[in-house]
Structure 1
């Protein structure tokens, strides 16, 4: 590590020049520099003290697609990390640069970002309500459940601070539904059952939505996607929104699910288990059944 740091410091001038060209969106200059070995050898370096990111991070941070493509063509690592363990994809999602997000994903970027970062591209997109970017991440295999081990260990309330929770409390209903469609766990939104078992009285997404007074539509979606309606502790406040949500929940507790809904949930759980949720449209079955599995409204029959 010390050797790498020394090398980066010695080459800080070349790294700074690459970063500056990327920041200024000067793709021609960037291409000319990277044809020289002195610049090419430092393409994935962050530089000396005070320089936190690589030239690729610099290009993405401004949404400069052409410079991003030049850097990738010359061998920039698509999943290189900055000092915060954030990948270029994370920076593109944070900046809401859809074209850069697509370019990075098509070049093989990990849609989940770096495992060493406490956040993730999906969490960021869900919080910001960016439906298009979130969909592209999920289509390219991003995990719809919380993957931050640090947050899970912090406190029991943090168990529900995954993408579903963030989409709900920030009022992004389309992101909320999209996450559920791509297999987000409607109970804990967490993929680590072992960690859940170590936390006393973990909070479900349903309970957190009730506590935060989220609209009835969030509760209905959780119910439709198979949330356990018997898990949350009901705390009724004066909020009209919450009273409506609690009433809906109590109605669901008193009525069994339709057999068709149970079959849909069973098929979707199996597809999630074998990591084929994105293949629903390719199933050899009638379009009406595929639409049903994707929670699309059925066509109205006119007699």
Structure 2
């Protein structure tokens, strides 16, 4: 059974996890913890907890594929609609917040919910504590500094730099162990600056990525000018994404860069950007439908399975 660690956050990571679970049951999802919008942002303001939203989506993506698992996946994703304070909150966010508010260790709480949902694999936070993301952008009106995952994800302009606050956050031992023993590591797709890049900004985690013998797959977004939600600016070309990634982890080797064929405008430049990272580009049809900003799970399963080899779940 191949051991796979999937790094990311939000809808992009959920799509990758939905594909990976068809390939192996030994999956560890490592999820960003900087969400400051919506239900997660409100809970984070009220309680000293990790933002639960991206962790909830990862749990739901790995729910058991039976009546129990599918029922709980729907419950976890249920979002209240009312004129009161519960409006907009996701049930899974409240469940995680209640466990953590009882002074439950974040990972123990995630494991408890994982047992309830009978998840395939395990879901872990990227860092010990909640983080903020800060980006510096060049815009038509000058340089601006933007703070917050939501704000960075929707900022317009050319990004200059990115950092997490507090700097040098502490990684979880469980994450470092999973990376060390993994056969494969995937990163992306998703909001490049707020879901993918932050994984390079936890020093112990980047060091673990450098030391592991696992092969690494970077899954690029379907549109270099948008995230999987269609809101993030994120640069103008796929090779710019690779170059920005490489600038924050110049020693990190990426074996494969999986990209949808439709977003490749300059194959030579993209190949060169991937080669700088020690890898090669695999261009394939992985889009849900023409014009869609979402990856097709079955297509991702096909191509990730082809890359990783024939050892599928029996």
Give the TM bin, normalised by the shorter chain. 0.3 to 0.5
| Higher strand residue share | 2
TM-score (normalised: structure 1): 0.34
Query: Rg bigger for which structure?
Result: 1
Higher relative contact order, chain-length normalized (CA < 8 Å, sep 6+): 2
Structure with the higher fraction of residues in helix conformation: 1
TM-score between the two structures when normalised by the length of structure 2: 0.33
